[in-house]
Structure 1
């Protein structure tokens, strides 16, 4: 029997095959327990396995290169490899002692995921709708539950719901609230029964929490339909409810990192990566499966300030690189199971072969996407690599800016904004992107723009753009005059990701990395003249940035003059198809450069 959403709403509960006791937004269910008899302490052990941030990786394949995935560290990706690890552990400990969960970001991140959201969408066709390959794989692997991630909402709520219907396990999110009813929009938690041979069942409570940043990052998809409460705040509400529902052990699956800086500043009253705070502040949690930050954390121990008990946290990297393993030991005390030990570790998926059943199960979907991404869209006059984009202005990033600039300018033609100059924001999303000389395929362009962002146009002044550039220049660490240049230490200051390093296409400027943050931008010009702080511009910007992603100044509050629901990636592909040829002489402005005390770092 599958656990479907209807079993969780309206305060109902249902016992599913395999011993799961589902608990909904309200109400609970209990089973009769035999008494605790005998004098010898009764103990038992079980294992909880966890994945996170799989991001559409079903098999070990790179759709942008159309080849087996590989990286410098020798990692492998995909659920097919994870399935082998899961099978091995179930054989080791016994399937009745093994639980499998996920911490979110499942259905976005690869062309495979995109294809079944946009090309052959799982929302279309009713009962004949295609099956999402991630649902196929996860059902075959017998997942017990998954928390929702923020990227689940990239394609809209209807896609999330369609995926939910295809899953044989619940999608949990205690802090995702229906805006109309003010009740949980998804099941908050699950009670999973683990059978024991000499005592009552162990009742494992699994609480799911998603990231409140969804309200910013996917504002257009969720506004007016769902709201998202803070993670510690909602954990404090629901952990007691999970305990009241009979849980002996509580595991939280949270799409949130461990106490890192929040990317949205003060735009929301909640933190982004707060699992450490949850562990320290909310009593009665035994372990937390961490997600969102794409890090490998085998084990982090945090003491709860109220109880003095240790909470075990683990994050298994991303993409199926790793699998977290929590090993629990419990003892029956006065008729109740109590945790006496919990440890965590991570296993590397590159140590095993892919599970042939899972691989075969998604083979047709995989091959359909391979065919799609290999379609020719045009040609390129020379090889364009992104490798130098974090250090120098490159044609490949200017191409993104040019496409966005042209698209917005065409959209504003004939409007009251047509006379305003159009600039464009662009960032290096993928350090391995490359447009080859000669034939250019869909996958080449998609590899340059790996996110499913859409395009907006906002009114900005010259002064605001200057502030914007100062903010983006925080990407660089300070390089003192006379100090040796080490590129490996120059970028990503304070863990600032590449996707939050924007250039503004259409302006020329210097970034002086010898100067302190806030005083790095100089010589800003537009069409050869000094930037006028009072002049109005239209900035073409992706929806993530337009909605406040990255907490860049001014842009979230700026007036919207145009927006599109088409992915920028597809806009780029259409632009290339219409031109037929990518030639840097048509768009490369070489507009910015790094300097030290005014002297260019690169010739």
Structure 2
């Protein structure tokens, strides 16, 4: 059966909901209705962080998923266009990597001359008018990226990615792409008359790609600070006649103060004179919207503005369509903005803790990518070995965990073999690994869950989401302790006698909660975190890591260790203290996922039971609470070394649990 037909059908209730939404969408936006003879309504639509999710399908779970998919986002687009006087569709990057279809295309299918990538096929059908790059476009190398982009029927722009060393003047940088494009649109004003409008589109990528993808970019590329590049190029866009200038910023919103080569620079980018609106992304959040950006100076999360200018972040994986509506007015020969609204429109909602699809699939988008979807299904279902026990991450943030353990086992196995004939052969090998799927922003189903029995490629991808490559660093015992102190920022402080304190620091991403295997230790939650999220020692006297031992003895602060990890962490990703690229002694050509596959094949049958090398230190008469997936309720008894109780229901479909300390 074709997978287009085999996808989970939209329920009658969903269709009614979608139909109701569609009927509402046919109403003109107020700007389109009120525009006068010298005014026009311009609606700019954004997708961002698609990460190869064309189909509403979870390849890791091998099942349909109503919270994602460009085919769903696409079904909003026609109706949204119908509401508007004039419209314009852009993409804000991170489309090329992120699920097994991306890996299948890069590693199995490849890109021959004339091939068009399935995401690009879908985008061509939708009629995008411009796009920029995200950091994940570089994960498979520059040559592959350029082959993919060659299939696009629209231009890509990036103003801060250079072919070599930075020039003294950004306008003299030798860029891989045009820094901007100016699209000439014929628009209809309020009287029905046609006019010409020049829309300038400029794009930016996080400068940190030079750390995250050093193996693909070192000696081939360089990046410039986002705001610096914008200040150089925006005047040129004005000189070229741009009436309206839109920034495609694959960079999030951070109000901690402007700094050089800032990763999430969109707030300060909005302050550049001449930019009229900012599309953001990268953080996998929704803007405008509640919670995520409350209390940041210069950010209005209700109106949807950054420093007073309209801005939007359209979620991730196709979950939302970002919309900026402009009422523009002709001022002599050019146009100016006189009013605006912003919105991030979702493809689903939650009802009685269940996900309800608001829109159906758009059939032509499914058709565009169906051949590659079918090939990906065959690819992910290929068995590579067996496991004697289930692999799940429901309790990966509160106890030593089998899904993290298998990653560490594979990394240790690989690095020992790679270094056996080197000067590092006699150093002890440790391994650092973190849970990638641990709920959080991914939702109540966002957990690794592999049953005992056959392990397929889809399961390995589920264990390790990203195409990182293995790297190893040599560090001291003291630096091992600080690495763990940084990881312990995952947790809030729990004082003796405290009851049901929120355990997890929601601002701390689970992929930065590294467990280091090969040593044993406890985490004392009664002490505050030593480091903040940027690796600054905010509580330098704190020692959350207790009883840190190697081979049964207190670790020697001066002893040297090899630590197996990945290119992101070894290159400085996460800003762990003293973990930088100068400590790297081995940079593998192999991805961590490939190493896990090889390990499973070599072992045939694996035993992934966690070895219990870390735990929480007792905190007298204290309890803390955390969320996990509802399925975790049936697994409490299997978790060793920690007392966990069911604490009822959490928000947004999560279950709540109590940790007795």
Normalising by the smaller structure, the TM-score range is 0.7 to 0.9
Per-residue displacement from partner, 1:29-49 (whole Å, max 9, x unpaired)?
xxxxxxxxxxx8611112100
Structure 1 residue 202 displacement after superposition: 1.1
Comparing 179-188 with 50-59, greater Cα deviation is found at 179-188
> 3-state DSSP class of the match of 2:288?
strand
The aligned counterpart of 1:58 is 54
CA contact (8 A) 2:329 2:337 kept: yes
> 3-state DSSP class of the match of 1:576?
helix
Instruction: Show the 5 A alignment for 1:302-321.
Output: 310-321=308-319
Instruction: State the distance in 1 between where 2:245 and 2:124 align.
Output: 23
CA contact (8 A) 1:41 1:332 kept: no
The aligned counterpart of 2:361 is 354
Instruction: State the distance in 2 between where 1:42 and 1:143 align.
Output: 27
The aligned counterpart of 2:466 is 451
Structure 1 residue 416 displacement after superposition: 2.0
Instruction: Show the 5 A alignment for 1:562-581.
Output: 562-581=586-605
The aligned counterpart of 1:132 is 117
Per-residue displacement from partner, 1:543-585 (whole Å, max 9, x unpaired)?
0001110011222144332221111111101111121112135
The aligned counterpart of 2:136 is 151
Instruction: State the distance in 1 between where 2:148 and 2:156 align.
Output: 9
CA 199–353 in structure 1, closer or farther in 2 if over 3 Å, else same: closer
RMSD of the alignment, in Å? 2.1
CA contact (8 A) 1:513 1:520 kept: yes
Q: Does residue 236 of structure 1 match 2:231?
A: yes
The aligned counterpart of 1:393 is 400
Instruction: State the distance in 2 between where 1:595 and 1:369 align.
Output: 45
Q: Does residue 182 of structure 1 match 2:173?
A: yes
Q: Does residue 112 of structure 1 match 2:101?
A: yes
CA contact (8 A) 1:459 1:558 kept: no
Instruction: Show the 5 A alignment for 1:249-264.
Output: 249-260=244-255
The aligned counterpart of 1:484 is 499
CA 272–559 in structure 1, closer or farther in 2 if over 3 Å, else same: closer
Instruction: State the distance in 2 between where 1:93 and 1:516 align.
Output: 52
The aligned counterpart of 2:335 is 337
Instruction: State the distance in 2 between where 1:107 and 1:215 align.
Output: 18
Instruction: State the distance in 1 between where 2:622 and 2:492 align.
Output: 16
Instruction: State the distance in 2 between where 1:103 and 1:596 align.
Output: 47
The aligned counterpart of 2:454 is 439
> 3-state DSSP class of the match of 2:187?
coil
CA contact (8 A) 2:327 2:337 kept: yes
> 3-state DSSP class of the match of 2:236?
helix
Per-residue displacement from partner, 1:154-173 (whole Å, max 9, x unpaired)?
11111221111111111211
CA 421–321 in structure 1, closer or farther in 2 if over 3 Å, else same: same
Instruction: State the distance in 2 between where 1:147 and 1:440 align.
Output: 37
CA contact (8 A) 1:286 1:310 kept: no
The aligned counterpart of 1:517 is 529
Instruction: State the distance in 2 between where 1:395 and 1:409 align.
Output: 21
The aligned counterpart of 1:422 is 429
The aligned counterpart of 2:91 is 102
> 3-state DSSP class of the match of 1:171?
coil
TM-score (norm 1): 0.86
The aligned counterpart of 2:187 is 196
Per-residue displacement from partner, 1:228-251 (whole Å, max 9, x unpaired)?
111111111111111111111111
Instruction: Show the 5 A alignment for 1:70-109.
Output: 70=66, 76-93=67-84, 97-109=86-98
Instruction: State the distance in 2 between where 1:302 and 1:481 align.
Output: 38
Structure 1 residue 78 displacement after superposition: 1.2
Per-residue displacement from partner, 1:483-534 (whole Å, max 9, x unpaired)?
1234xx31235x1100011011101001111102222111000111110111
CA 223–510 in structure 1, closer or farther in 2 if over 3 Å, else same: same
The aligned counterpart of 1:595 is 617
Instruction: Show the 5 A alignment for 1:246-285.
Output: 246-260=241-255, 269-279=260-270, 281-285=271-275
TM-score (norm 2): 0.78
The aligned counterpart of 1:21 is none
Structure 1 residue 255 displacement after superposition: 0.5
Structure 1 residue 600 displacement after superposition: 10
Q: Does residue 499 of structure 1 match 2:511?
A: yes
The aligned counterpart of 1:412 is 419
Per-residue displacement from partner, 1:467-491 (whole Å, max 9, x unpaired)?
11111111111111111234xx312
> 3-state DSSP class of the match of 1:239?
helix
CA 190–599 in structure 1, closer or farther in 2 if over 3 Å, else same: same
Number of residue pairs matched by the alignment: 539
Instruction: State the distance in 2 between where 1:211 and 1:389 align.
Output: 29
Structure 1 residue 120 displacement after superposition: 1.1
CA 260–421 in structure 1, closer or farther in 2 if over 3 Å, else same: farther
The aligned counterpart of 1:29 is none
Equivalent of 1:508 in 507, 513, 520:
520
Structure 1 residue 378 displacement after superposition: 1.5
> 3-state DSSP class of the match of 1:584?
coil
Instruction: State the distance in 2 between where 1:524 and 1:196 align.
Output: 67
Structure 1 residue 387 displacement after superposition: 0.8
Instruction: State the distance in 2 between where 1:219 and 1:584 align.
Output: 32
- Unaligned stretches of 5+ in structure 1? 1-39, 71-75
Q: Does residue 67 of structure 1 match 2:74?
A: no
CA 530–570 in structure 1, closer or farther in 2 if over 3 Å, else same: same
